[in-house]
Chain A
Amino acid sequence: MIKLKDVSYTYPHTVQEALHRLSLVLEPGRCIMVTGPSGAGKTTLCLAACGILFHEYGGKKAGFVTINGRDVSAYTGLSEIAKNIGIVFDDAEAQMIFTTVEEEILSALEYRGLAPEEIERRLASIMEVTYLSAIKDRSPHNLSGGQKQRVALAATLALGNDILILDEPTSELDEHATRRIVEILSNLKRQGKTILLVEHKYAHFRDMVDTLVVMEHGAISAIGAPGEILDDERIKRIVIPDFTGIRTGAAPALPTSTPAIAVRNLSYSYDEVPALHNVSIGINAGEFVAIVGENGSGKTTLVKQFNRLLTPTAGDVEIRGKNTRDCTIAELARHVGLVFQNPDHMFFADTVKDEIAFGLENLGIKNKDVVIDAALGEVGLLHTKTLYPRWLSRGERQRLAIACVVAMQPAIIVLDEPTTGLDGDEARLVMEILKKLQQNGHTVIVITHNRDIAQYCADRMITMDQGRVSSDTRVPVE
């Protein structure tokens, strides 16, 4: 059981409270799901609940946290707390220390003071529960995102604790992998585990959640049984993304003789491992296209061909009538803007303004200040111009990444999973921005696991499966 009473916390070198007089009780055998906008303090809550804030972090602290009836300050350190609580962080890769799946879990078991036979028995049982037996000898860099999350969870289960804290365990996972995690956690709950879960995918976890908590600005803005608090429309929009009404009608037909993108008989292999087979698609200027499919179905490999980050093994890709084989990546960057899934892969400048200016300087675009202001205005971030990009919340960073690309004025904008890690409101905001870009004449292509986005925002949905286009349909206008 974990109890937080009036917990406030301010990170070192900051003035704003990350948690403000927060009280919460996690009762044995229950599951609390915490959701809310990025930057609301959800991860800080996890760190507070398992005593990490109190033992490892500086900053200003107030209030009380008790774990199994004992104040966190009475524990000698994390090693002692770890006998009561297991925590899984969102970055699964950083939680893999050893070089095979089995070794990771076995090593976690070896430090529990158990008898060797008990270790072997628990190892076998955990591998089975987390569906890892078949990949026990794989190394971390040969695992998919879902598999890595399962390994991190399995190594935490190895500790044998009854309380589990999970910080966005499914943020980068596709439907299939998410369902696997939900299944595992539901089973664990049935076994009596106590679960504190930070998540955005309420719809997936609906059946196992006893209490839903919505956090905003470091405080709890709604708490209760899901059925009760979701009656509030504002709260509901944060918890469950609502994309209805974004598509206002059929796409405006732009007068053009050549398609924006023409892909003909495209095949691509990574070191002899085939990733795309004979893909042919045409995308017209001004279209809003959603590319859906499971992880590994070839979606990202396909869009990387559009600006020649990858060159076709066979077949051709033409961008606005020009074969990509005849163009450099820098030339194609003028026509195709690509926003990757993790915005943190691009930020390096000291201010938001300089971050956007980088792309403009690369392309030699004049009137930088005017262009930067316009791009920031487009994504609603004008007030952040002088801030350090990495200080922004995840949702703001995602919008900044879009602004960086929009400022370069490409006719085609491609986004890989633009709503990862965002709450309902933020996800809708991103999709509205993209819709506006389409209305301004851009061709927008979105890779997504979320079929609602395809259904309510796109004009056309291309489904990929094992490197092939399995369906290509126009989304009917309601």
Chain B
Amino acid sequence: MSEILQYVHKDGFFHRLHPFSKILFIIVISVMCVFITSIPFLILMVVALLSLAYISHLHREVIQQLKLVLIMSVVFIIITVLTMPNGATLGYLIPQGVPVIGGSIAITDGAIGIGLVLALRFMVLIFAFQLFLISTQPRDLVHAMEKLHMPIDYILMFIIALRFIPTLQIEGQRIHEAQLARGYNPGTGMLGKIRGVAPIVVPLVSNALLRSNVLGLTIDMRGYRTGIRTHVRERKFCTGDYAMMGSLVVTVSVFFVVAIFASGLIF
């Protein structure tokens, strides 16, 4: 079973970075993603992220998300084609030869462009967050977030939400099997899907609630919420961190210069 967004124990460039550098990296990438509409630049970002994953020995884990990313990309493009027609018409989703409804739903270059931008932004964000989460031990993350004065309850909530993804996946699979063994066959179509939800979701949620009770008591009994903490094996800033910071500064500067020139704001 694929382990979605789980820490992978390895020793690579990204693993050695200080959590602060990685948090800064995520912020810069996310902000750039929001502002950039240039398809070549977004493609460049995707390539850069994949290269970073490769030198950090994390390309296999990142590539695992490719299926999800491609499916979502197609969905984005279809949605924009359906909802945001603009620019030159390239063709029609329903060929003109079809009687009555033929020639409806125009495929426009503008809609495809917007769809592509959305898909590429999605790719950039998924790859960047994936790199961040699979290379950072939760306790380093807790440590960094504590230093940023975030409340411990919120930090624990965040790491627990991530930690229990595979547990819920496995539990869901077991419940599904238990119901299949009872002849459960929800049928096809929308109605079947709705009918099929309760036998899986009710046990999953009930068991998760019981588990959350134990989890909450464990957190208290281990003293995680006392706020007193001795920091051991603290990560120090290393050469990689300075290289990362330097690259981010250069990237952001280039981005601004290009953005200003290209948009003609000044010249």
The judgment on whether A and B are partners is: yes
A residues with a Cβ closer than 8 A to B are 50, 52, 56, 77-79, 81-83, 85-87, 89, 91, 93-100, 103, 106-116, 119-120, 137, 139-141, 155-156, 158-159, 304, 307, 309, 329-330, 333-334, 336-338, 340, 342, 344-348, 358-359, 362-363, 390, 404-405, 408
B178 and A159 form a contact (CB under 8 A) = no
Partner of B181, one of A111, A139, A307: A307
- CB-CB contacts below 8 Å: B159-182 with A: 159-160, 163, 166-167, 170-171, 174-175, 177-182
Q: Hey, which bits of chain B sit against chain A, CB under 8 A?
A: 1, 3, 6-7, 9, 137-139, 142, 156, 159-160, 163, 166-167, 170-171, 174-175, 177-185, 198-200, 202-203, 206-207, 210-212, 214-215, 217-226, 228-233
CA separation between A359 and B200, bound complex, in Å?
14
- Do residues A86 and B221 form an inter-chain contact, with CB atoms below 8 A? yes
> Given the complex, which residues of A lie within 8 Å of B218, measured CB to CB?
89, 94-95, 97
29 A-B pairs with C-beta separation under 8 A: A56-B220, A77-B220, A79-B220, A81-B221, A82-B222, A89-B217, A94-B211, A94-B214, A95-B214, A96-B163, A97-B159, A97-B163, A98-B163, A99-B6, A99-B7, A103-B139, A106-B232, A107-B142, A110-B229, A110-B231, A111-B222, A112-B230, A139-B3, A329-B180, A330-B185, A333-B180, A333-B181, A344-B207, A405-B182
Residue contact A116 to B182, C-beta cutoff 8 Å: no
Question: In the complex where A307-B181, A340-B174 touch, is A108 in contact with B199 (Cβ < 8 A)?
Answer: no
| Closest chain B residue to A82, Cβ basis | B221
Nearest A residue (CB) for B228: A113
Which residue of chain A has the shortest Cβ distance to B142 in the bound complex? A107
| Pairs A-B, 8 closest by C-beta atoms | A362-B183, A348-B202, A333-B183, A78-B220, A94-B214, A338-B181, A99-B7, A111-B223
Tell me, rounded to whole Å, the shortest Cβ–Cβ distance linking B113 to chain A. 39
> In the bound complex, do residue A99 and residue B138 qualify as a contact, i.e. CB atoms below 8 Å apart?
yes
Asked whether A108 and B6 contact (CB < 8 A) given A94-B211, A347-B203, the answer is no
- Which residues in B have their C-beta under 8 angstroms from that of A158? 222
Q: How far is the CA of A258 from the CA of B202 in the complex (A)?
A: 40
Contact B7 A139 (CB under 8 A): yes
Known contacts being A140-B163, A333-B183, is A82 close to B220, with CB within 8 Å?
Answer: yes
Tell me which of A78, A108, A345 has the highest count of chain B C-beta atoms within 10 A of its own C-beta. A345
Contacts of B3 in A (CB 8 A): 139, 141
CA distance A333 to B225 in the complex (A): 48
Cβ–Cβ contact A346 & B179, under 8 A: yes
B226 pairs with A111, CB closer than 8 A: yes
Chain B residues with CB below 8 A from A155, complex form: 222
- Give which listed residue, A52, A141, A329, A348, contacts B198 with CB less than 8 A: A348
Inter-chain CA distance A348–B197, complex, in Å, is: 11
Question: B227 to chain A: closest CB distance in Å?
Answer: 9
Q: Let me know if A348 and B222 touch, CB within 8 A.
A: no
Contact A359 B214 (CB under 8 A): no
CB-defined contacts of A85 to chain B, threshold 8 Å: 221
| Number of CB contacts from chain A to chain B under 8 A | 185
- The docked-state distance in angstroms from the alpha carbon of A108 to that of B142 is 13
A359 touches B182 (CB 8 A): yes
Minimum CB–CB distance from A97 to chain B (whole Å) comes to 6
Most A CB within 10 A of own CB, among B156, B202, B203, B222: B222
Smallest Cβ distance from B223 to chain A, in angstroms? 4
| Docked complex Cα distance between A158 and B221 (Å) | 12
Q: How far is the CA of A363 from the CA of B185 in the complex (A)?
A: 9
**How long is the Cα–Cα vector from A99 to B9 in the complex, in angstroms?**
9
Given contacts A93-B211, A99-B138, A139-B6, contact A119 B230 (CB under 8 A): yes
A77 and B1 CA atoms in complex are apart in Å by 40
Which of A103, A137, A307, A405 is most buried by chain B, counting CB atoms within 10 A of its CB?
A103
B230 lies within 8 A of A348 (CB): no
Q: How far is the CA of A330 from the CA of B180 in the complex (A)?
A: 7
Q: Once the chains bind, are A78 and B221 in contact (CB under 8 Å)?
A: yes
Nearest B residue (CB) for A90: B214
Specify which chain A residues have a CB less than 8 angstroms from the CB of B199 in the assembled complex. 348, 358
Let me know if B179 and A108 touch, CB within 8 A: no
Q: Is B137 a contact of A103 with CB atoms below 8 Å?
A: yes
Query: How far is the CB of A304 from the nearest CB of chain B, in Å?
Result: 7
The answer for the CA separation of A77 and B216 in the assembled complex, in Å, is 14
Residues of B contacting A113 with CB < 8 Å?
A: 228, 230
Inter-chain contacts of A405 with B (CB < 8 A)? 181-182
11 new A-B contacts at CB < 8 Å, known A97-B159, A112-B230, A113-B230: A50-B221, A52-B221, A78-B221, A86-B221, A94-B211, A116-B230, A137-B9, A159-B222, A330-B185, A338-B181, A358-B182
Do B7 and A408 touch (CB < 8 A)? no
Complex: how many Å from CA A82 to CA B220? 8
- Assembly CA distance A140 to B200 (angstroms): 23
Whether B223 contacts A79 by the Cβ 8 Å rule is: yes
Asked whether, in the complex, the Cβ of A141 is within 8 Å of the Cβ of B225, the reply is no
Shortest beta-carbon distance from A343 to chain B in Å: 9
Instruction: List the B residue with the shortest CB-CB distance to A114.
Output: B230
A404 with B182: in contact, given A78-B220, A78-B221, A115-B230 (CB under 8 Å)?
yes
Residue of A nearest to B225 (CB): A79
Q: Which of B137, B167, B174, B182 contacts A141 (CB 8 A)?
A: B167
Min CB gap A120→B, angstroms: 7
Given known contacts A89-B214, A309-B177, A116 and B232 CB-to-CB distance under 8 angstroms: yes
> Which residues in B have their C-beta under 8 angstroms from that of A333?
180-183
Q: Tell me whether B138 and A340 are in contact (CB under 8 A).
A: no
Q: Within the complex, what minimum Cβ distance (angstroms) separates A28 from chain B? A: 20
Question: Nearest chain-B residue to A405 (Cβ)?
Answer: B182
